[in-house]
Amino acid sequence: MAGTQEAMGLSIVQPLTVLSEEEKLFAASVREFAEAEIKPYVREMDEKQKIRPEIIQKCFELGLMGIEPGEEYGGSGGSFFMACLAIEELARVDPSISVCVDVNNTLVNNALLNYGTESQKKNYIPRLCKDTVGAYCLSEAGSGSDAFALQTRAEDKGDRYMLNGRKLWITNGNEAGIFLVFANVDLSKGYKGITAFIVEKEFPGFSVGKKEDKLGIRASSTCELLFDNCEVPKENVLGEVGKGYKIAIETLNEGRIGIGAQMLGLARGAFECTLAYTKERKQYGQAISEFQGVQFQLTEMATQIEAARLMVYNAARLKDAGQPFIKQAAMAKLYASIVAEKVSSEAVNLYGGYGYVKDYPVEKYFRDCKIGQIYEGTSNIQRQTIAKLLLAE
């Protein structure tokens, strides 16, 4: 059978929902950490709109900020799939912590691993694994879905580049010390002028601006970044000059799986709270979980979560196996974000009046879920990607 599958060109990857013992232990350890050290502070962080610094530090100590980089770079040497497991388990408790870890791993670390020089890897990846948060800086006021319409400029000054412009909606903006910034060296060339730069928080001319007051994932900082003659050494160009668009596309293709994992974890968290609640909440002399209508609602929620899990895990396994995964990544993000919204909305319904107040967790899951259909490519961008690949087959 294996030979037949290989002959047919089918992917030979581990069964989707079967985890190795190492993966099981890893997921369990992240779950334990999230329950013990994040869960008690979720509401406080949401209200204060700030992640507790000691939680970020603990994420570094546990190796969660550098899951894929090898030991030579100070990382854990794990797989992309394991990074997705961590993102999922963290999002089950707090999607804000999850996205902080997600961006560090699937966007910043991976971009450096895939495109960095050996000098850049040795200089920056150990810091990103040990004590410095990373941020991925692509979006601007006029370039959201149309990412290549960015206007931040990079002028060649001989031994350095001078960056001028503004970035918006940058995750980890307040916490980060290392920023992967996309700017255009020649606006007349359009996307072929886009170049990636590694910018440190201390570089002259760089500053963090307004922090957005958001609907959901409020503890996660989403900030404006300002570049006013920001000086970046030439050795901090990531990849080739004018090839930043390739880095942006390929990194986001991987990052979409991470957002799918975040939305999967969020849906799990909302569902697990709701399932327990329906067993406790009594109406008409019995637990509401005994009513067939409620059972049907729970069944739909569980089935949708399982479908999302299969899609996210499949995309991550394909990526690790070196198989084509772009279509599956877009599908996973698209569907998991839809499921997160449906499940968290149904959770509020099943909690009734309690679901509408902040004393119970499902209200926050409902607010947090919406971003999944917006960042790292809106749902319509995912549909466009899927359609383009389908029509090319």
Catalytic machinery residues: 376
User: What are the φ and ψ backbone dihedral angles of 227, each rounded to 5 degrees?
Assistant: -125, 110
Question: Looking at the chain, how many residues does it have?
Answer: 393
Using the structure block, give the residue that is written with the tokens 């912590």. 97
107 Cβ contact partners less than 8 Å away, ≥ 6 residues apart: 134, 136, 180, 251, 252, 254, 255, 258
Give the Cα separation of 354 and 360 in Å (integer): 7
Give the Cα separation of 361 and 293 in Å (integer): 23
Q: What is the H or E stretch that residue 61 is in?
A: helix 53-61
Burial call 148-165: b when 16+ CB within 10 Å, e when fewer: bebebbbeeeeebbbbbb
Query: Do 93 and 36 form a contact (C-beta atoms < 8 A)?
Result: no
Give the Cα separation of 182 and 176 in Å (integer): 16
Pairing outcome for strands 206-211 and 194-200: unpaired
**Hey, what long-range contacts does 285-291 have (CB within 8 A, 24 or more apart)?**
288/350
Pairing outcome for strands 194-200 and 237-238: antiparallel
Tokens of 330: 């877009």
Give the Cα separation of 97 and 217 in Å (integer): 9
DSSP-assigned letter for residue 168: E
